[in-house]
Homo-oligomer: A and B are copies of this chain.
Amino acid sequence: MSLVERVLAGDRLALARLLSQIENEETTGLDDLAALYPHTGDAHLVGVTGAPGTGKSTLVNKLVMHMRQEGEEGGDADTMIAVVAVDPSSPFTGGAILGDRIRMRDLAGDPCVFIRSMASRGALGGLARATAGVVQALDAAGFDVIMIETVGAGQAEVDIARTAHTTVVITAPGMGDEVQAIKAGILEIADILVVNKADIPGADNTLRALRATLEMAKPERYVPSLPQQGDASIERGEEADSWETPVMATVATEGEGVAELIQAIEDHRRYLQASGEWTIRERGRIRSEMEGLLRDTLAARFLERQPDGRFEEALEKVLTRSLSPRQAILSILDGEDR
C-alpha cells in the first residue's frame, strides 16, 4: 500500500510522515500531495488568531473537546477535527513543542483528533507554503474541521485568514484601548470576534468598544432601515448575502460560551455556502498559493542557472553602495534576460 493510499485509509502514522515530508519540502511528499489533491475541498477551514495572553490555545482545546462531545451526544460521532498550530514568530527554538505538550494532555487518545504544531522555517513564505500543504493533506485525509491556530497579529495572520474559510479573532479585556483595537486592524479580517476571559472586570467595556469599533469600521454593513413587512423572501435573501460579524464572550477555562461559538462557526459555514462566498474564498486562497509557488519556483530556477557567485558579487556592490538593490537585481536579470 502506498503512503497516499494509507493516508486515505486513515493511517495516522502515514499521515504524520507525509506532513513531515511536506514541511521539509521533500519531492516525494510534494508528489504525494499532488496525488491527494483531488480528495480535498470538503473540510471547513477555521482560522483562529489572537495576541499571546488571550487564552487562544485553551479556547481551541475547549472547542475541539466540545465538538467531539456534541458528536457523541447525538450528532455525528465521527466528526474528525485537526488542529494546526502555527507559530510564525518562532523561527528559532521549539516553543511550539512546549505549547503542544500542554495541549496534548487534554486531547490525547481521541483517534478523531489530530494535532500538528508548525514553527516558521526561516525562509520568507516558507511557512505559508508549508501550512497550505499540511492543511491540504489533512483535508484529503478526511478531517471535517481543520483549525489553523496562529499566534500574533501581523501580516502572517492576515495571510492565514486568507487561507481559512472562517476567521475567528480572539481578544481579551485589557489588551489595549479602542485606538489600539482599530490600529490592530486585524479586527477587520474577523468573521467572528471573541472576547475571551469575559469574567475579568471590564470585559463589558471591551465588548462594547469592539462592537462600536466594528460598526465604525464597516459602515457599509450598517442597515439603516427596517425590513419591510411581508417581504420575507427578500429578507431571507439578504441574510445569505451578508454576514454581521458577531462579538461573542467566552470564558475558555470554564467552557462558557464555547457551545455558542461552535454554533457561530457552523452558521458562518452555512452562510458561506448559501451566499457563494465559499467559492470566492477558495479561489482567493488558491490564487495566493499559486502566486507564491510561482515566485518561489521562478527564483529558485533562475538562481540555479546563474554562474556561481553572481548574486554574491552584486550583493557586495550594494553593500559598498556602488549599486542600489534595485539596480543590482536589474543588472543580474538583464544580463540573462534580454
Residues of A within 8 A of B (CB): 30, 33-34, 37-38, 40-41, 51-53, 87-93, 95-96, 98-99, 102, 119-120, 124-125, 127, 132, 136, 150-159, 174-177, 179-186, 188-189, 217, 279, 282-283, 286-299, 301-303, 311, 314-315, 318-319, 321-330, 332-333, 337
Contact = CB atoms under 8 A, between A and B. Distances in A.
Contact of A295 (B33, B52, B283, B299): B299
A185 B91 contact: yes
> How many subunits of this chain does the assembly comprise?
2
A124 B319 CA distance: 25
**Which 6 A-B pairs have CB atoms at the shortest separation, nearest pair first?**
A154-B154, A90-B185, A53-B176, A37-B324, A152-B154, A155-B156
Contacts of A321: 37-38, 40-41
A53 B298 contact: no
A114 B159 CA distance: 31
Nearest to A127: B155
Contacts of A40: 321
Given A315-B286, A321-B40, A183 B99 contact: yes
A59 to B, nearest CB: 13
B326 A154 contact: no
Contacts of A174: 53, 174
A59 B30 CA distance: 47
A332 B299 CA distance: 15
A89 B51 contact: no
Q: Point out which of A33, A180, A189, A302 has the most chain B C-beta atoms below 10 A from its C-beta.
A: A180
